[in-house]
Structure 1
Amino acid sequence: MFIGTIFINIIVPILILVVVGAVLQKKFQFNLRAVSNLITYCLMPAAVFINLYETEIDVQVLVEIVGYLIVFSLAIIVVTAVISKLLKLDKGESAIFKNSISLINSGNYGIPVSQLLFQANPLGISIQIIVMVFQNVLTYTYGLYNLISATKSGLEILKSLLKMPIIHAMLLGGLLNWLRAPIPTFIWAPISHLADAFLAIALVLLGAQLAQIEFKTIINRTVLVSSIGRLIIGPAVSLLLIFLFGLDGVVAQSLFIASSFPTSRNSSSLALEYDVYSDLAAQTVLFSTVLSAVTVTFVVYLSAVLFV
């Protein structure tokens, strides 16, 4: 698969929907929190449920994936801590920097890419769902700790995690898959329709969110290094670990691609909510997302060459 083909068939459809979202947001000023709630509490759980219900994942493969994700995240956390020290960032800026590289947009960017890329192989999409769930756990533990470690207890963080609908959808989909329980058509049909709507609405929302970010002062040292860390160092660490773990095939391909996605929108949302360098966080999300059109294309191409 040539790089140009990957860019046209995978990245361009995503960019078109992101641009549509940005244009519509500039014109109509949507209530983005309401749209975000629609995705979080309805569309994304439906997509997660269907993919896990329909896909067979070997227990050994699942253990390998989770083991890889833990080691990958720890490696990235160590790398960001070292770079943060070298850059001599203050406490708040350091927290934003660490989150910008450690937290990946696996939801409304990663899953649509995987749905387009792995249309003929549901395992690739299911792996991305596992990555997304893991990233959500990381966001509301390590990411939250970086910002408000002194004000929020471990029990409160756990409660917020257990309230996340994708956790319930993942557990229910996995359980019904394991039990091989049939789902009546009158229940399956609406869930399927909701899942089908996820890809387009998630990307339109991403565009609408990016449209609200100010372009001024976007090019600065911290934003540049954060984007390099997320889009280049992240995949490099991933590739090294994939070889060390001896992973191959769709598992290796999916995990490598998952490591290349831009900074999570949640990192910006958390920074805004707790008033910690929110402008810097938003600028990093925008800059890394724009650059990812090039870097993700290259990683997808490289994954096809290395893990056929």
Structure 2
Amino acid sequence: MSLVSVLGSAVLPVVAVAVVGYALGRTRDVAVEPLSDITLYVLAPALVFYSLVTSPIAGPTVARLFGGVIAFVVGMVALAELVGRGLGEEEPTLGALVLSSTFSNAGNYGIPLSAFAFGALGRSTAVLFLVAQNVLMYTVGVYVAARGEAGSTRGALVRVFRLPLIYAVAAAAIVRATDAAPPTDTALMETIRLTGDAAIPVMLLMLGIQLANSGGGTPVARTMPASTLKLIVAPVFAAVIALGLGLTGTVGKVFVLECAMPAAVTPLMLTIEFGSDGFEEGLSAADYVSTTILVTTLASLVTLTVLITILQSGLVL
């Protein structure tokens, strides 16, 4: 598949909806928090439950995928920490660099793009990736954002178990283990499917609104190390992990694609909620993260188009 066809069939449909959200955010005073609550507590759990219950991915593959996400996050945290310290970055900028280099926008960008590029199996794999990353984001991510702040990390595990996504995963695991899933054409499963399908366009609208509201207060050049780690180094590292764990086919390709997504928005919220209020040379961690989100999201139009072309060609995985 050519670069042009990948751009038209997989990337542009995702970007088009996000652009609508961006235009809405620029022209209207739209609060993203209510949309976030609806997605987090209703739409995303339905998407996760339905995708896991109906997923054709076998248990051992799921275990390898979760192991891959853990290896990727731990490895990227260590690598970003080394790069940041080598560049002389100090807190709070160092923590911002680590967070924005490590965690991918696997939800409101990654799930739709994986679905467009790799179909239903791509979406199921992306949902699994998102679940695993969310657990790490609210544990490892909170630690990175809050290190040095007494008492801030103690609520990390509590925060994880307040996420409906965790219970959607547990419920889906029980249903699959007991073979108790209702047929997909029943009213119950149809309701869950329709609710979950609504998550994808809402996530993309949220992405656009968040980008419209991004402060962008940090010089772009300052965020280039984080942007390079996120868009260039991360997919290469992810491919090595996938090959090492035997994640091949569509599952392995989506794993690499999700790792190559632009910086996630959640680290910005973690930085604001758990991080220090300090500045380094007039630079706030929130400004650093928000600028990295904007830069990597725009640059990903090119990097993800090239990556999808490579993955769909079968040259790797």
TM range, normalised to the smaller chain?
over 0.9
Rate the CA distance shift 1:196–1:66 in 2: closer, same or farther, 3 A: closer
Tell me the amino acid that sits aligned with residue 134 of structure 2: N
Structure 2, gaps ≥5 residues long: 278-283
Q: Is the 8 A contact 2:143 2:153 kept in 1?
A: no
Alignment deviations for residues 21-50 of structure 1 (CA, whole Å, 9 cap, x no partner): 011122221121111101111111111111
Q: Is the 8 A contact 2:100 2:263 kept in 1?
A: yes
Rate the CA distance shift 1:217–1:94 in 2: closer, same or farther, 3 A: closer
After TM superposition, give the deviation of residue 216 of structure 1 in Å.
5.3
Q: Is the 8 A contact 1:103 1:138 kept in 2?
A: no
After TM superposition, give the deviation of residue 154 of structure 1 in Å.
5.4
TM-score by length of 2: 0.90
User: Which of residues 276, 279, 288 in structure 1 aligns to 2:287?
Assistant: 279
* Higher share of residues assigned helix: 1
After TM superposition, give the deviation of residue 178 of structure 1 in Å.
2.6
Alignment-derived partner of residue 40 in structure 1: 40
Alignment-derived partner of residue 67 in structure 1: 67
Alignment-derived partner of residue 197 in structure 1: 198
2:101 alignment partner, SS class? helix
Structure 1, gaps ≥5 residues long: none
1:23 alignment partner, SS class? helix
Rate the CA distance shift 1:135–1:187 in 2: closer, same or farther, 3 A: same
After TM superposition, give the deviation of residue 69 of structure 1 in Å.
1.9
Q: Is 1:83 aligned to 2:83, yes or no?
A: yes
Q: Is the 8 A contact 1:249 1:307 kept in 2?
A: no
Q: Is the 8 A contact 1:250 1:307 kept in 2?
A: no
Q: Is the 8 A contact 2:216 2:287 kept in 1?
A: no
Tell me the amino acid that sits aligned with residue 190 of structure 1: T
Alignment-derived partner of residue 233 in structure 2: 233
Find the aligned partners of 1:237 and 1:140 in 2 and give their Cα distance: 22
> How do residues 126-145 of structure 1 correspond to structure 2 at under 5 angstroms?
126-145=124-143
Q: Is the 8 A contact 2:65 2:247 kept in 1?
A: no
> How do residues 1-308 of structure 1 correspond to structure 2 at under 5 angstroms?
1-119=1-119, 121-122=120-121, 124-149=122-147, 150-152=149-151, 155-183=154-182, 185-215=186-216, 217-221=218-222, 223-273=223-273, 274=275, 275=277, 277-305=285-313, 306-307=315-316
Alignment deviations for residues 247-274 of structure 1 (CA, whole Å, 9 cap, x no partner): 3211221111111101010011122224
2:229 alignment partner, SS class? helix
Find the aligned partners of 1:216 and 1:72 in 2 and give their Cα distance: 29
Alignment deviations for residues 251-306 of structure 1 (CA, whole Å, 9 cap, x no partner): 22111111110101001112222445211111111111111111111111111222
Alignment-derived partner of residue 281 in structure 2: none
TM-score by length of 1: 0.93
After TM superposition, give the deviation of residue 181 of structure 1 in Å.
1.7
